[in-house]
Amino acid sequence: MAAVIHAAAPITAFMVGSAAGHETGKEDPDSDGSPTGATIGAADVAFKLCSAWAEGKGWAPTSQP
C-alpha cells in the first residue's frame, strides 16, 4: 500500500516548496521578503513534475542532486 498516490506529488511539492521558500526568504538578506518568489518557484517545480510524468519519465528526473 502506497502512502501517497502519484497524483499527489505535484501538490505536495508545491505546498512544501512554497512553505520552505517563504521561511528561507525571511532569513535571506538578498530576498525582498515577498512571497511571490517562493510561490513561483514552488509552482515551477510542480509543473516540472507534471511534465516529467506526462512524458513517461516518472519523478526521477525532477529530483534534486
- 36-45 residue pLDDT tens: 777 888 888 8
DSSP H stretches of helix in the chain: 9-27, 35-54
Average pLDDT, the chain: 74
pLDDT at 64 (0 to 100)? 56
Asked whether residue 11 carries a pLDDT value surpassing 80, the answer given is yes
Q: Which three cell numbers stand for residue 30?
A: 538578498
**pLDDT above 90 as % of the chain:** 0
Cβ atoms of residues 34 and 26 within 8 Å: no
pLDDT at 1 (0 to 100)? 45
For the chain, domain boundaries: 1-21+43-56
This model's pTM is above 0.75: no
